[in-house]
Amino acid sequence: MTSEKITAAAAGTWNLGDLTVNRIGFGAMRLTGSAAFHHGTPSDRDRSIAVLRRAIELGVNHIDTAAFYFSSLRSANELINSALAPYADELVIAAKVGPFRDYSGEWGTSARPEDLRGHVEENLRQLGRDHLDVVYLRRMRQDSIAEHFGALAELRDAGLIRHLAVSDVEPRHLAEALAIAPVVSVQNKYGLDFPDPGTDALVRTCGEQGIAFVPFFAIAGKGGALGPGDTADDEVLAVARAHGASPAQIRLAWTLQQGPHVLAIPGTGNPDHLAENVAAGALRLTDDEMARLDALHTRGQ
């Protein structure tokens, strides 16, 4: 499919609280290089900045980032600050807190509730902002998130955060959070290649409650943080051929058609891939194609 003139508006919009975003956004993790959490090849800084600016030109107004998105020479937040500050009023920047990496890149223990203010302030410092639009509490294997989420709710009351969200959670964790403060979004691993009945149910629950569901690794599949592999199921390839699209675009289109509350934040450091990802928001799969892909999704359940 031709992607040059398609903007993120083609996917439609959703409200994160009082903030309206196009349903195709941008994930910043892969801006930093070939292995954002390891010591792979650092990205070309000028190219990463150009990708961010091109994303805005293509109508992207929702960027997902974190202070722990860095490689040996690159920081996603610093790149965003350099490319986009001063920020447009309509640009929504979401950050995640909870996990921690030291300056050598090694993962530390998960944050205690009293650590979260420092995590929020570090994101603010790197981004050059006085508040964060959306902050996800990324659960790090805790059985209960109530104490951690309560700490973030206090930071929202203090004006450092506008809206609260949760990540890597089960329905019981979402219920815990909602008992403390409103939740505008849930971010979990989800995609065509992840057959997980629990996550499928959580997607439906979010839709019923008017909460956005924002999957990560929707394109990458089993490749996870290392990115998509070179293989695609025959069913995905057949649908892609019918639309003159790539398998990645079909994966994104399938994801978006799970409900109007489902957003996408595909990440890339490649300007051509960026345009393809944004253009996927204009794809509309037929009922028959969705049924075939749904069967592929549930095959391993």
- Tens-digit pLDDT profile for the chain (301 aa)? 555 689 999 999 999 999 999 999 999 998 987 555 555 566 789 999 999 999 999 999 999 999 999 887 889 999 999 999 999 999 999 999 998 887 767 777 778 999 999 999 999 999 999 999 999 999 988 999 999 999 999 999 999 999 999 999 999 999 999 999 999 999 999 999 888 889 999 999 999 999 999 999 788 545 444 444 555 789 999 999 999 999 999 999 999 999 999 999 999 999 999 999 999 999 999 999 999 999 999 885 5
- Asked whether residue 101 is domain-assigned, the answer is yes
**Residue 17 zone, left/alpha/beta (φ > 0; ψ -120 to 50; rest):** left
- Asked whether residue 88 is domain-assigned, the answer is yes
Q: How many domains, the chain? A: 1
Range of the domain at 157: 19-231+254-283
Q: What is the pLDDT of residue 47?
A: 93
CATH number at residue 71: 3.20.20.100
- Asked whether residue 156 is domain-assigned, the answer is yes
According to DSSP, the residues that pair with 156 across neighbouring strands are none
Beta strands 13-16 and 19-22, pairing class: antiparallel
Q: Encode burial over 55-85: b for 16+ CB neighbours within 10 A, e otherwise.
A: bbebbbbbbbbbbbbbbeebbbbbbbbebbe
Q: Hey, what are 126's tokens?
A: 């790197």
Q: What is the pLDDT of residue 232?
A: 72
Torsion angle in degrees (nearest 10) through CA of 144, 27, 182, 161: 100
Catalytic residue (choose from 69, 87, 103, 190): 69
- Asked whether residue 292 is domain-assigned, the answer is no
- Asked whether residue 182 is domain-assigned, the answer is yes
Tokens 């359940």 belong to residue: 301
Q: What is the pLDDT of residue 301?
A: 58
Q: Is 65 strand, coil or helix?
A: strand
Q: How far is CA 74 from the centre of its chain?
A: 19
Residue 261's nearest CA partner among 187, 196, 198, 172 is 187
Entry pTM: 0.92
- Asked whether residue 8 is domain-assigned, the answer is no
- Asked whether residue 89 is domain-assigned, the answer is yes
Helix segments in 35-115, DSSP class H = 45-57, 76-84
User: Is the Cβ–Cβ distance between 171 and 202 less than 8 Å?
Assistant: yes
- Asked whether residue 243 is domain-assigned, the answer is no
The answer to whether 69 is a known catalytic residue is yes
User: Is the Cβ–Cβ distance between 184 and 164 less than 8 Å?
Assistant: yes
Tokens 């603010």 belong to residue: 124
